[in-house]
Structure formats: C-alpha cells, structure tokens
Structure 1
Amino acid sequence: MFGYRVPAPDQAMLISGGKRGLGGAPFRVVTGHGKLVLPIIRKSRFLSLAMAESEVVEKCVTRQGIALTVRAVIAFKVGNDVESIVNAGQRFLSDQEQMSVLTGRIFAGHLRSIIGSMTVEEIVTERQKLATEVLDTSKSEMASIGLHVDSLQIQSIDDGDTGYIEAMSAPHKANIQRAAQVAQAQATQAAAQAQQEATRKQAEYARETAIVQAKYNAEVDQARAEAEQAGPLALAHAQQEVLAAQTELAQRQARLREEQLVAEVVKPAQAEAERIRLVAQAEAERMRVQAEAAASNDRVALDRMLIDQLPMIVKEAAGGLSGANVNVLNGADGLGEIAAGLVSQGLTILDSVRANLSATEDREETPRPGTAIDIT
C-alpha cells in the first residue's frame, strides 16, 4: 500500500512529523510491525539494531610505569527499549558508523584508567577482571547514548621491547620446563617399565608356550610310538595266543593219545597178564585139589568132576575179562582185585560142592538097618 512502511526484524523505524514520540522525542519508534506513513506530512528513517563491534588498540601505562599495548574487541548494539532507540537515533541516525568510533573511544579511555591502577602481573593473570571492570565503568555512559555492550574481550597485552612480561614469565617457564622434564622423565621411566613388563610377559608367555608345545610334542611322540608298537605287539600277542592254543591242543592230543594207548595197549596187556595169573592160580588150585582128592579115596565122582571143571570155569571167567571194556580206577591193583574175586567165587563154589559131598557121604556111611559097615 502506498505510504505503508515496515521495518526489518533488526531495525527500528523512526517516524517524524505529526505527533511527538515517547518522552517528548521528536519522532515515534516502530519495531516489529508496519505503519502508515503519509507522504509529505511524515518522514520515516530506519535505525539498525544489529550487533556491531569496535576494535580498540591503546597504549596504557600500568601502576608500575610500564607501557603496555592492549588490544580489545567490544561487541555492542542499540538497546531494544524505546528510550535506547531514541537516544541512539538522536545521535547516530544520520551517521550510524559513528557508533563504532565513539564506542572505541569510550572504551579506550576507561581501559587506560583501569590499567593505570593495576600492575602488569594483575593485568596478565587477571585479564577477565580487567574486562569486567572496564564494562562496569562504561555501562552507564554507553546507556546514555542508547548502546548496550554484550561483551569485551582483551585479545592481547604487549610490553614492546621492555621484556618485562618475558622476564615475569621466565620463572614460570622454568617451572613449567622443569615440570615438563620431570613429567617426561616419569613418562620415559614408566614407558621403560611398561616395556620391561611387556618383555617379561612376552618371555613368560614364550616359555609357557614352549613348555606346552614340548608336552604336546612328547604326547604326540608317545602316541606315535605306541601306535607304531601296537601292530608288532598285537601280532606278538596273537602269535603267543596261537602258540598257547597250539600247546594246549598238543597237550590235549598227547593226553588223548596216552588214554588211547592205555585203553588199547596197557589195559589189554594188564588184563591178559591178570588172566594168565588167574589161570595159573586156578591150575595150581586144581592140582592141589587133585592131590587132596588123590589122598582121599572117599571123594565121589562128582567131586572129581567139579575139580576137573574148575580151571575151565575160571578160564572162562578170565576169558570174559579179555573181551570186556573194563574201566579200572586203580590200575593193576584194581584188575587183580577183580581176578581175585573171580577165583574166590570159584573156590567158594568148590567149597560148597565139597560140603555137599561130605554131607552126602555122611548120610551114605550111616549104617542102615541090616547094612554092614566096611572098615578099612
């Protein structure tokens, strides 16, 4: 719209003509919104509210009489309130660059005044204190011209060719160098100790590794040797078992052959010998009986017949032994006992016959009534 003006966000619009401003100011202040400005009747101008800076390089003399060149930077702007805008507008609206020039001069004066009351040591070591005092002393003066200081930074302090600051820093430099050397020595010692510890640990690890490797190699060698010996040992054990089995088989075969020889040769021979002995014994008994019979004419014919048949009975009994499979538990003694039993049985039969014959003879010799007895 024609005649409607709007200030930028970092600007204040000053409208002159018509009504007067706050506090009798010759213009009205508009910020943050637009305003209708009638041409010819009213006039509008803009005052920057943006941040500005001013650099100060000033030679100052300390309380000790030592000249110092101080470099500082001031950050400032027009205040946001209407009063500050009015004050700044009345002073700098036509030449706003003068704000930086005037600000630098104001701070230069306060800087010289405050440094003159301090020593070099205080200025160097308490630089922030210096900046704070300068700000405090210039605050009211800056407010009177509508400016607000945001910060003051002391960038450098130089004593020129006097060398005072250098000399002042020498003890500190020496202490710092000494502390640095000590720290370096401690660091070197710590590094050496760490290196030695690392070397020792590496040596211990290498030794333990070598021991473990040696044990492992020994176990591997032992396992390999056992594996290599396992085949021959197994073969030897197998051969030993085969030999033992063969020996046992041979022993069994020898015992079997011995039993066969005993059954086929020894026992038949023993039986034959016993048979011959029994036959001889029977023959001797027959001859004895015949002799007794010859001496006694009172034997009956039956007695003679039995006597004649006794050797045949014994022979037949002995002949039965030769063909029989007799298991004799105690060898020749057992076989003799069998033969003796047979002979004893034959003799028992003979004695029984004799006893019967004697009884018969007694009955026959008993005189019957009317029978005569022949006594010889």
Structure 2
Amino acid sequence: MFGYRVPAPDEAMLISGGRRGLEGAPFRVVTGHGKFVLPVFRKTRFLTLAMCESEVAETCVTRQGIALTVRAVIAFKVGNDHESIVNAGQRFLSDQDQMSVLTGRIFAGHLRSIIGSMTVEEIVTERQKLATEVLETSKAEMAKIGLVVDSLQIQSIDDGDAGYIAAMSAPHKAAIKRAAQVAQAQATQAAAEAEQAAARNQAEYARQTAVVKAQYNAEVDRAQAQAAQAGPLAAAHAQQEVLAAQTELAQRAAELRQQQLVAEIVKPAEAEAERIRVLAQAEAERMKIQAEAAASHDRVALDRMLIDQLPQIVKEAAGGLAGANVNVLNGADGLGEIAAGLVGQGLTILDSVRRNLGAPQASDDTKPGARKQLNSGQIDVD
C-alpha cells in the first residue's frame, strides 16, 4: 500500500522528519511492525540488527616482555533496546560497515591492555579468563555506541621466533611423548600377546582338527579293513567248518573201520585162539582121564573107548559152533567161559553115556574143574 513501510525481522526502521522520537531522539524507531510514512515529508532508513563479526590480529607484549600475536574473533550486534538502536543509528546508519572496524579497534586496545598485565603461561593456559576480562572491560564502551558483544573467541597465540611457548610446552611434550611411547609399547605388547594367543588358538584348533581327522581316517581304514577281511574270514570260517566236518567224518570212518577190523580179524582170531586153547584143555583132560582109567582095572575097556571118543565129541561140539551166530556178552572172559562150557558139555555127554551103559559116574572129586566150568559158562547159541 502506498506510504506503508514494514522493516525486516532483523532490522529497525528509523523515520526522520516530523515529530521527534522518544526521549528526544532525532527520529522515531519502529521494529516488528509496519507504519504509514508520508512521502516527501518523512524519510525512512533501516538499521541492521543482525549478527556481525569482527576479526582482530594484534601484537601484544606480556608482563614478561615477550611479544605475542593474538588472533581473536568478536561476534556483536546492535542492541534490541530503543537506546542502543538510537545510539547505533546516530553513529553507523550512514556507514554500517564501520561497526566491525570500530569494534575490532576497541577490542585490540583492550587486548593489549589486559595481556600486558599477564604472563605467557597465564595467557596460554587461561584463554577463557583473558576473553572474559576483555569482554568485561569493553562492555561499557560498546554500550555507548549501541553494540552488544555476544562472544569473544581467542583463536591463536603465537610468539613468533622467540620459542618461549615451544620451550614452555617441551616438558609437557616430553611427558606426552613418553606417555605415548608407553601407550604404544603397551599397545604393541597387547597386540603381540593377542597375536600369540590367536596363533596358539589356531594351533590348538589345527591340532584338534588333525586329531579328529586322524581318528576319522583310522575309523574309515578300520571299517574298510574289516570289510575287506569279511569275505576271506567268512571263507576261512567256512573252510574251517568243512575241515572240521571232514575230520569228524574221517574219525568216524576210522572208528567204523576199527570196529570192522575188530569184528573181521580180531574177534575171529580170538575165537580161534580160544578154540585151540579149549581143544588143548580137552586133550589134557583126555590124557588125565586116560591116566585115571589106566589106574582103574574094572573099567578099562569102557573108559578106554570113551576116552578115545571124547576128543571127537568135543570137536564135533566145537564144529557145531563154527557156523553158529555166537554173541559174547562179557568180552574175552566170555570166550573163556564158552570154551569151558564146551568142555563141560563134553563131560556131561560122557556121564550121560556112562549112565546109559550102566557105568558109574565120575565122582565130583575126580572132575571138579569140569563141573565148575560148566556152571560158570554163559552161552547163547542159535
């Protein structure tokens, strides 16, 4: 709208002409809102309220006489109150860049003054104290020109080629260097220990892996060997069983052959020997009978005849057994009993003949052996 002016948020609108401002100010101050301004009769100007910056690089001499180059940055602005705006407007409205130049000069003077009362050690170690003192001493002067300092930062302090600051920091540098070397040595040692521990762990893991692999390979080899030996072992066991069966069969065949030989050779031989022995006993008995008969004169003829026939009787009895199926129940003793039985039968026959002819029987005293052999023999003739 024509004649209506509005300042920016970071500006103050100064209206000159017409009535004076508050407290006798040569202009009226408008901030935060607009206002009608009559053209030609009123003149409007704007003063920045934004933050401004000023850099200071000043060579200052300390209390010890050592020259130091101090670099600082000052952040300032026009105050928000009416008085500060009026003061700043009267001084900087036509050339607002002069605010930075004048602020730098003001702070340079205060820096020289304050640093001149301090030592290098204090300046280096207490920068914040230096900045605070400079701000406090410059506050009143800055307020007179309508400026407010927000902050002061000491950027650098340099003694040039004097080397004072470097010498002052040498012990600290040495201590820091020693601490750094110790820390580096400790870190190197820790790294070496960690590396050795890692190597030991890797070696242990490799050893365990090798052991497990060896055990696995051994189990595989053992299983393969058992599998490879299974066939030959089975064949060997089968062959062993065959040999055992053959051996048992051979033993049974040998036992059967032995029994056959005993039945075919030994038994007939024993029977023949027993027969011969029986005949010999009969012959001996016959001779005994002959002798007894020779001693008896009343039966000479009869006894002579019986004695002559007795071997033939016994022979016939023995011959009757030649084709018979004879079972011997008690072994070799049975064979002797058979032979004794034959002799006993012969004597029995002899007694029977005597009885039939009316001849007296032989007394038991003359033939005790024959009677006893007849009673003890056990014969089974088919």
- What TM-score bracket applies, with the shorter chain setting the length? 0.5 to 0.7
Match of 1:37 in 2: 36
1:276 to partner: Cα distance = 4.8
Q: Sort the Cα spacing of 1:190 and 1:287 in 2 relative to 1 into closer, same or farther, 3 A.
A: same
Gaps spanning 5+ residues in structure 1: where? 300-304, 363-376
Q: How do 1:136-285 residues align onto structure 2 when only pairs under 5 Å count?
A: 136-161=136-161, 163=162, 166-170=163-167, 172-173=169-170, 176-177=173-174, 180=177, 183-184=180-181, 187=184, 191=188, 216=214, 227=225, 250-278=250-278
Report the Cα offset of residue 74 of structure 1. 0.5
Contact residue 328 and residue 335 of structure 1 kept, 8 A: no
- Secondary structure of the residue aligned to 2:164 is helix
Counterpart of 2:94 in 1: which secondary structure? coil
Give the alignment's Cα RMSD to 1 decimal. Answer: 5.3
Of 58-67 and 14-23, deviating more is 14-23
Query: For 2:50, what is the secondary structure of its paired residue?
Result: coil
Q: Which moved more, 1:120-129 or 1:255-264?
A: 255-264
Identity %, equivalent residues = 57
Q: Does the 8 A contact of 1:16 with 1:28 survive in 2? A: no
Deviation at 1:123, TM superposition (A): 1.4
Q: Please, which moves more after superposition, 111-120 or 166-175? A: 166-175
1:29 deviates by 2.3
Aligned partner of 1:373 in structure 2 is none
Shift of 1:54: 0.5
Instruction: Identify if the C-alpha distance between structure 1 residues 38 and 196 changes in structure 2 by more than 3 Å, giving closer, same or farther.
Output: closer
Query: Would the alpha carbon gap of residues 230 and 104 (structure 1) be closer, same or farther in structure 2, given more than 3 Å must change?
Result: same
Aligned to 2:374: none
Distance 1:183 1:256, change over 3 A: farther
What is the rounded CA distance, in whole Å, between the counterparts of 2:29 and 2:69 in structure 1? Answer: 44
String of CA shifts for 1:254-284, please: whole Å, max 9, x gaps: 3333233223322233234334544665676
Select between 238-247 and 83-92 the one with higher mean Cα deviation. 238-247
- Contact 1:56-1:104 within 8 A present in 2 as well: yes
Gaps of at least 5 residues in structure 2 are 304-308, 362-382
Amino acid at match of 1:121: E
| Cross-structure match for 2:112 | 112
Counterpart in the other structure of 1:11? 11
Write the distance in 1 (CA, Å) between the matches of 2:84 and 2:53. 18
Task: Return the alpha-carbon distance in structure 1 between the equivalents of residues 79 and 353 of structure 2.
Answer: 181
2: distance between equivalents of 1:22 and 1:66? Answer: 51
CA distance in 1, matches of 2:56, 2:164: 26
Question: How far apart are the structure 1 equivalents of 2:300 and 2:83?
Answer: 198
Distance 1:202 1:35 in 2: 80
**1:132 Cα offset (Å):** 1.5
Equivalent in 316, 319, 328 of residue 320 of structure 2 = 316
Asked if structure 2 preserves the Cα contact closer than 8 Å seen for 1:111 and 1:134, the reply is yes
* CA distance in structure 2 between the partners assigned to 1:246 and 1:88 by the alignment: 138
Distance 2:8 2:330 in 1: 147
Query: In structure 2, what is the Cα distance between the partners aligned to 1:51 and 1:179?
Result: 40
Could you state the TM-score of these two structures normalised by the residue count of structure 1?
0.66
| C-alpha spacing 1:200/1:142, structure 2 compared with 1 (3 Å) | closer
- For residues 315-357 of structure 1, what are the alpha-carbon distances to aligned partners after superposition, in whole Å with 9 as ceiling and x for unaligned? 435642xx45x47675x345434x2574487479669969997
Return the alpha-carbon distance in structure 2 between the equivalents of residues 356 and 86 of structure 1: 200
Name the CA distance, whole Å, in 1 between partners of 2:355 and 2:89: 192
Aligned length: 345
1:158-188 CA distances to partner (integer Å, 9 max, x unpaired)? 3345x1xx13532532552475267537745
Change (3 A) 1:189 1:97: closer
Task: Rate the CA distance shift 1:354–1:139 in 2: closer, same or farther, 3 A.
Answer: farther
- Deviation of 1:53 after TM superposition, in Å, equals 0.4
3-state SS of paired residue (1:95): coil
Alpha-carbon contact 2:12-2:29 (below 8 Å) kept:
no
